[in-house]
Structure formats: C-alpha cells, structure tokens
Amino acid sequence: MPKLRAALTALIVVAAGVTPAHATAQPSLTVERGRTQPVFSYADAVREHVYVESSVDSDADGRPDRVRVDIIRPKESGPGLKVPVIIDESPYYDNSGRGNEAERKVYDAAGNVTKFPLYYDNYFVPRGYAVLNVDMIGTTRSDGCPDVGGRADVLGGKAVIDWLNGRATAYRADGTPAVADWTTGRAAMIGKSYDGTLANAVAATGVRGLETIVPISAISSWYKYQRSNGVIYNYDYMSWLGDYVDSDPTARCAATWARLDAEDADDTGNYNGFWAERDYIAGSLGDVSKVRASVFAVHTVNDLNVMPDNFSKWWKALADRNVPRKIWVGQYQHVDPFDFEGRRDLWVDTLHRWFDHWLLGVRNGIMSEPRADVQSSLDRWTTQHDWPAPLALKIPFRPAADGSFGLVPARKGQTATFTDIRQSEEAMVADVGTAKPGRVAFTTGALPLDLRLSGTPVVDLRVALDRPTSNLTALLVDFGEDTRIDWRRGQGITTVTEESCHGESTASDDACYRQVVTNRATRPLEIVARGWIDVQNRDSLSAPSPLPTGTYGRVSWETLPQDYVFKKGHRLALVIAGTDSTYSDERATGANVTVDLAGSKVLLPLALSTLRGTDVPKDTARWTGPRQLDLPEPENLFY
C-alpha cells in the first residue's frame, strides 16, 4: 500500500505540473481513495492580495481598472509546489455577503483577508489548492464601475485567469509586480447567483487556463433574467443592481447608470445589442461555442430570482457541443446545494472529486457516474443519465370548450375568451372551476397514474385580439392536497442552530456552518410551470410585429422548465390569462383575447417511465384521452 500511495502521489504531482519529490522533504500533494488529502496547514497558509490590471477602463478615469484578488494558498506553494486555483469572483463581498450566513471579508492591518467567506478556503487549501476571492470590477476594493453582466464584468474576471497563466500583469499594494509562480495556472470558477454568472461569462470567452466552472443558480442570458419573450419583469433593474453592488457613492458611476438605462430597451422589451453583450449562449462578447471548461451546473426549478430557463438553455447548448458536464436540479428557490437538506456532505464530496478530477487529473470515476441528480418531489432525489429525463415524450394536451384538458382536440370552431387585465397568479388560479373575465382555465379529471414532467413545456395557441398586442400568461397547475416544499417561505429552508464543519478553522475563520431544514406546507394546489409572452414578440424578440386586429395568429412559447410529479388522483390544469402582476411590472393592454381551442395545445415533456404500459381506467372522470397513453406521430414526441 505505501508503494501504491507513493505512485498515486507521483502521478498527481506530475498531472498538476509540479516537480516530483525525491529523497528530500519536498512538499507534495497526497491522494487516497481518489481524493486529495488535507496535508497542508490552514493556519499557516499564505494570505496575500494583489491587483490585476484589466483591459477595460469602466470608470473612464484614463487608467485600466485593477481587480482586487485576495489569495489564500498553502505555505509550501511556490516554484517547488505549484497548485491549482479555485476562484469565487463576486460583487457581494462588502454588501449582502456570501452564503446562507451572509459572510463578508474581514481584513487585518496589512489589508489581507483573515476571514474568507464560505468554506472553500477551509476545505480546499489543506488539500493543496489556492482559493481566490475576487472583487468584481466596481465592487469592494476593485477599481471601476459595475457593468452588470457586460464588458467590464466579464473581462475583469478573464484578466485574473490570464494573470495566473502569465498573460496579464498584477501589482502588490506597494506597486511592485506580483507573479503567480505558485500556481499551475489551472483554474476553476465557482459561485452562486451573480458569482456563478461571472463563471459562465468568463468561460464563454474561451480563456485558456479556466478548466472547469461550477455555476450555481447562475445567469446565462441577462435578457432571460429580466425578460420573457418581450414581457419585462422589472423596469430600470440593471442600473439599480449596478448601483447596489457598487462600493462608491452613486454619483461616481452616474454616467454608467445612465448608459444602462438608455440602452436596456425598457420602452419596448426588445432584445438588442445591450442584451447580446450580456448573452453567454449566443452573445456578442462570448458564446457557448468558445467554452473550453467543463461545467458542473446547479439550479432549482422554483428559482424565480434567476429563472430556471437560464440553466436549461445553457445546459442544452453545452450538450449540443458535447461539453463535459454534470448537473444537480433541486426543488428549492434560490438556494445553494450546500443548503439542500440532507445533502451537504454529498455535495462537498462531489465538488471535491470534481475539482480533483478537472484540476489535478485524479482518476476518481466522477465522469463515469450518472450525469444528473434530480429532485422531482419533496423527499425524492434520483440519479439519471441526463436532464431532462432521457426519452421524455412531448405529449400534446388540449383545452376544450367544456373546460376539460386532455388528449382529444376540441371541435372546430370552439373558442374561449378573456381580457388582458393585470392580476396576480394567485388570482389567476383561484376558483378555477368558476368563469372569470380575466382568465380561462382547463382541467383534467383525476389523474389515473403519476405523471412526471421533466423538461420544458411548450404552449402553442391560436389567438385573435381586438388590439395590436396583449401580454399572455400560461400556468400549469397541480390541483390536489399535498405536502410540498414551501419554497415561497425562506426560499424553502429554515436555518437551525446545529452546525456541520467542512475543513479546518482558525480563530478568525471557522469551517462550521449552521444546518438547514426544508420548509414544508400542505396546500391544495401548486403552480408548477409558468410562461409569459408579449404577442407582438411572437416571431421575433428584436423586431416586434402587432397582430392584425381580429385576425388569428399562432403564438407559441416555452414556459419555464420543471421537474415535478403530478400524483395519481390529482388534477392537472392549464390557466391562460393576461398580465401577471406577480412577476412583471408591465401594465395590461386591456385587449380581449379569443383562443381557438381546436388550434391550441400544450406539449408536456413526460418521463417515459410513468407512461409505458399503463392503462387509463375507463371510469376516470373527465379524462378525455385514449385508454392507452401510447400516441402516434413519434417524431413529435421525443424530447
């Protein structure tokens, strides 16, 4: 066993680009059971900071912005032991803080960080990694003005990767050059929300040296973060967010805020050059075709801060390019997987093996495991080959004039009409069996079997308006008393006093964090999927076209993705309405909307395992489909 351990250590050291140890006491990494071991002292680690010179001047002061980088690395790291790097770049280190306990950086008299937020430093530095907490341009101790997903945000983070690989310059506080002679140059970026967004953005530049990213609840398109098919969620949001994370008085970056407001197309809701710069899938500054890094994505299907289409579109684009990838999909709101109840240890271990594999070349089998961990209900996590569920079928469900919702099309000429008024989604789904002027609703009878929805539903309507446009909302609803994750309260979790520790601690920076429990609520219904569109954007997000008054036109759009089990005996409903006041600041148009029911349907991606070989009982009330869920036209069914 000692010989095997020595061989593994030599292999990992060579893979890391480190000079192997010989008969001397040369420091080296240790690998056992496919994992690096905590052989370096956290208390004795080097804590330092540098300022990396970027290629942008976001505050127009005539000097390139410098990016503050706070570093913690093993004392032994240097020319004789080069280590890989884990980066959390964030705009939040001096405002909202990081993690469930809102940790901020704490500095000593020399300006070095003595408390690094989160556990990454406590856990990974003893295992032979450097951890960098990077202040996004315009925030905390970096120069410049935040660009809210744009050029400055992206190129600031890229400059740090370039510095680690000898392609950019950095300086110490006294103005002397700083060289990263202690690193292999192999880097990861990780973080939740804006932090994970920066990881996506930098990866989309194709920068060399960024080997992997772990975006958690992250944005892949800022348009999708603030728009849905022309429907605006929040007005003047980009300038508000920039000012919120900016470390300086508002006046200093006032020109930037004015530019953001002028360019964001809030007057139309259109996709334009402003949003293309902030689109990491198919944008103008970077795109998915340039991604060199592997991706371990984490998102939750009830995240209505960073809507889950940000991960589903990014995930599909990565899959289309065969980017090495892994995913966790949860049922909470905007929550880090470290705080998924009962999975903290598994998360830390999985992340550990992921970094060991991609940054150090450890052969630990992580890429041979199922690609996706999915939470499809309160207490049910499954592993599967991919996400959405492989071989999910796109089943067309159709509304009918009698209010039913099933597999049989409505008769030709049947219609339903409502008025585009501004109302909450709670009002849209209330008293669903009662006719209301601001919505139409259609329900199945009691479901004869469990149905697992996995993926992105598509709403395909044929409508006519008496005005040039209307906002449309589509809701898929599960009616049935059940105990579900209460993701509306505390984003689905409650923090308790008990702690768990992950890594080593000092008096200034402990590795212990409070545990959480899942919030639960018994409710008669759950809104499962949501989707919005401005009818004039039905054909183009950048060139709206009014629908000629009184003329039918096809309006097809995707809801937000979901992974959810509709239980046997529950009823599945479709609600169509106008302007959603819960998630949009827009005004209603007042248009009367007529839906051609015979020409309308919703495609539901249903997991094959819930359908195959299942009979629908003859006496199932109001079930309008055939006895077997075995439909023709297979070319239209596969996801």
Helix, coil or strand: residue 555? strand
Query: Rounded CA gap, 192 and 216, in Å?
Result: 4
The b-or-e profile of 246-277 (16+ CB within 10 A means b, else e) is bbeeeeebeebbebbeeebbbeebbbeebbbb
Exactly one of 70, 266, 279, 303 is catalytic; which is it?
Answer: 303
22 part of the active site = no
Task: Provide the sign of the torsion angle of the four alpha carbons 32, 36, 38, 41, taken in this order.
Answer: positive
The closest alpha carbon to 502, from 343, 388, 334, 364, belongs to 343
Query: Rounded CA gap, 134 and 140, in Å?
Result: 9
Query: What number of other Cβ atoms are within 10 A of residue 607's Cβ?
Result: 24
CA dihedral 114, 118, 123, 125 (to 10 degrees): -40
Exactly one of 58, 193, 239, 600 is catalytic; which is it?
Answer: 193
90 part of the active site = no
Helix, coil or strand: residue 262? helix
Per the structure block, which two tokens stand in for 612? 């195959």
228 part of the active site = no
Query: Rounded CA gap, 57 and 256, in Å?
Result: 12
Q: Where are the alpha helices (DSSP H) in 330-405?
A: 344-360
Enumerate the β-bridge partners of residue 580: 423
CA atoms within 13 A on the CB side of 364: 22
Query: Rounded CA gap, 361 and 27, in Å?
Result: 18
Strand (E) positions, 358-511?
A: 372-377, 380-384, 393-399, 405-406, 415-419, 422-423, 439-443, 451-455, 458-465, 471-485, 493-501
Q: Where are the alpha helices (DSSP H) in 227-306?
A: 237-245, 254-263, 273-277
Per the structure block, which two tokens stand in for 60? 């127009």
Exactly one of 334, 352, 357, 502 is catalytic; which is it?
Answer: 334
Determine the distance from the C-alpha atom of residue 226 to the mean position of all C-alpha atoms in its chain, rounded to a whole number: 14
CA dihedral 227, 230, 234, 235 (to 10 degrees): 130
Helix, coil or strand: residue 237? helix
Query: Rounded CA gap, 517 and 515, in Å?
Result: 7
Strand (E) positions, 16-65?
A: 31-32, 35-36, 46-53
Query: What number of other Cβ atoms are within 10 A of residue 303's Cβ?
Result: 23
Residues labelled catalytic: 193, 303, 334
